[in-house]
Structure 1
Amino acid sequence: MARNLILSGGLYHDFQATSEALAAVLAEVGVESEITEDIPGALAEPSEYQLITVNALRWQMTGDRFADQRAQWAFRLPPQARTTLLDHLERGGGLLAMHSAAICFDDWQGWPRVLGGRWQWGRSHHPPLGWAGVRVGGDHPLVAGLRDFDLVDEVYSDLDVLPDVKPLATCGGHPVLWARPVRRGRVVYDALGHDTRSYDNEVHRTLLQRAALWLLKRPVQLRD
């Protein structure tokens, strides 16, 4: 079995539930996950995992609206943790980033270049949690042959996306899924996944399982 480290935790989301749901989805394709909320501790040494997943909301919280929570929740990613993530990719490892990962690690200028985009305060936004239609397209192994689908989610919109990113799925015209090589490894960002209802959708589950296999450089079974 491939080993996956899920970096979890933060505000406004039930990360314990979504991380467990994601772990169950990936277990179906032979990926064994370990979940931790100790992000600095987990990345304090070189990674022994084939896959690292960021399903968290940890950032500096510099805006006035977060003043009451900053003392408890404000976060900066230590230099060693950054090195561990970059070395993981340099060795050919995979990185799966879910939903609020686009907000994470905003003290690290290199994170958006790794991820392929970021949440831009004052521009990025999301409509209320509810039903959303996702359109998939292209011949990339993550989406080849899959149909469009509807799910209950919180759709991140108007992200600051790098020019070389090619969306594999959109919602309301906004990119919500992409895959890209970084160093010798691979990165997938999935802007969906606010709560467990997102992981109940069959097509979304298939996308995530394909993403894990692609990140691990394993054959992806193309099925609907």
Structure 2
Amino acid sequence: MTARRAVVVSGSGRYADPWHPFGETSAALAEIARELGWEAEVRPSEPASLLDLGGVDVVVVNSGGGDPDAPPAPDAAWAQAHAALGRFVSAGGGLLGVHTAANTFSDWPAWPSVLGGRWVRGESWHPERSLATFEAVPGTANHPLLAGIDPPVGLPALTDTPCITCFDERYSRLTLAAASEPVLRHELGEAYETCAWTLGRVVYDGLGHDARSYESAARRRFVANALQFVAAR
């Protein structure tokens, strides 16, 4: 049986930023794919990386929003690359967007509808990084994305609720498409904030700021589950 193939599109150039170590998080994502027995390749966020997706099962977008004071301007080469990724997803290719994927491709108007949501500049935000708990949205405890992820011990309020504990950012006030289905949330200021969702077989995973996030076994399991989920077409 031919191994699955994943391409991790790692933030660089116009889709890099000063805050996220895309090299180390993209390496962690590729490592998780390889642990599943997949072939995994990390590519820079350049047009050529999305124009050659022949034989690829899953594209993992781990890219950022670029310089917030100088958003990416329309570019013909990138327009072709965006269109190629859109066709890949429409044809049944798997898509996993990680962390800053909600804030990337701001020059592609269709990206929020492809991903199922977006980071809205001036509205979305996050507290300082910390050890945080991300819990299953009610009704999703048996979702394939949460397989093998256990409820915390000693917290009766979260009995039967799969949770991920890791050192990470808690993205908040993200805007979801109407058809997106929340899977993970965190509690902030006595309100719940969605930080992971599905849209059909597309998955957005709002965790993964830096390598410390991937030190959590539950976090890594969530990524592995997400890869298998989007590939199961």
**Alignment partner of 2:144: what SS?**
coil
**Alignment partner of 2:208: what SS?**
coil
Corresponding residue number in structure 1 for 2:34? 27
Given residue 125 of structure 1, which amino acid in structure 2 is its aligned partner?
W
Deviation at 1:178, TM superposition (A): 1.1
The answer to whether residue 101 in structure 2 is matched with residue 101 in structure 1 is yes
Q: Structure 2 length normalisation: TM-score?
A: 0.82
Q: Which whole-Å CA distance do the structure 1 matches of 2:52 and 2:183 have between them?
A: 33
Corresponding residue number in structure 2 for 1:8? 10
Q: Which whole-Å CA distance do the structure 1 matches of 2:176 and 2:45 have between them?
A: 28
Given residue 175 of structure 1, which amino acid in structure 2 is its aligned partner?
T
Q: Structure 1 length normalisation: TM-score?
A: 0.85
CA deviation profile, 1:148-168 (whole Å, cap 9, x unmatched):
132100111001111222211
**Structure 2 vs 1, CA of residues 191 and 75 (structure 1 numbering), >3 Å: closer, same or farther?**
farther
Corresponding residue number in structure 2 for 1:140? 143
Determine what percentage of the aligned residue pairs are the same residue. Answer: 35
Match of 2:63 among 53, 56, 74: 56
Given that residues 165 and 178 in structure 1 are in contact (C-alpha distance below 8 angstroms), is that contact kept between their aligned partners in structure 2? yes
Deviation at 1:145, TM superposition (A): 5.7
State the superposition RMSD in angstroms. Answer: 1.9
Unpaired segments ≥5 residues, structure 2? 150-161
Match of 2:213 among 172, 192, 198: 198
Corresponding residue number in structure 2 for 1:174? 193
Number of residue-to-residue matches in the alignment: 205
Corresponding residue number in structure 2 for 1:123? 123
Corresponding residue number in structure 2 for 1:221? none
Given residue 106 of structure 1, which amino acid in structure 2 is its aligned partner?
S
**Structure 2 vs 1, CA of residues 45 and 25 (structure 1 numbering), >3 Å: closer, same or farther?**
closer
Given that residues 183 and 196 in structure 2 are in contact (C-alpha distance below 8 angstroms), is that contact kept between their aligned partners in structure 1? yes
**Structure 2 vs 1, CA of residues 79 and 198 (structure 1 numbering), >3 Å: closer, same or farther?**
same
Q: Which whole-Å CA distance do the structure 2 matches of 1:206 and 1:174 have between them?
A: 21
Match of 2:166 among 140, 151, 158: 151
CA deviation profile, 1:29-76 (whole Å, cap 9, x unmatched):
1222111114211123454311101001144x4x5xx2xxx4xx8465
CA deviation profile, 1:113-166 (whole Å, cap 9, x unmatched):
011110111110010011111111412211246321321001110011112222
